[in-house]
Amino acid sequence: MNALLYASVACLMFAVTAKGHGGGLDELGCHNDRREGNYHCHRGPLAGKAFRSKGDAKREWRRFTLPLPPKQKRAKKSG
C-alpha cells in the first residue's frame, strides 16, 4: 500500500505541465505567435497547424471549401 502511495506521489512530482498562452483567437480559431514567428490555430479545421501568415491560413481554409467565418468584434479591455 505504501509503495503505491509513494509511486503516485513520485508520478505527480515529475509530471510535465503544459504551458498555455493568453493570446486571443480570431475568427479562424488562430492567432499570431510573436515568439515562434508564425500564425497558428487552436480551433476549427485548421487546429494544430502553423502558417507563415494569416493569408496562408485563409488559403488553406478555402481548400476545405468552407466560407470564411465572419470577423469577430474585439471586446474592449476594461481597466
Q: Could you tell me the mean pLDDT of each successive run of 10 residues in the chain, 79 residues long?
A: 59 49 82 93 93 94 78 66
The torsion defined by the Cα of 37, 43, 46 and 47, in degrees rounded to 10, comes to: 70
Whole-structure pTM value: 0.55
Nearest CA among 18, 2, 21 for reference residue 10 = 2
In angstroms, the Cα distances linking 14 to 9, 31, 53, 61, 78 are: 9, 31, 37, 39, 38
Question: Residue 49 class from Cβ within 10 Å (0-12 exposed, 13-18 middle, 19+ buried)?
Answer: middle
Structure confidence at residue 67 (pLDDT)? 74
CB 39 within 8 A of CB 32: yes
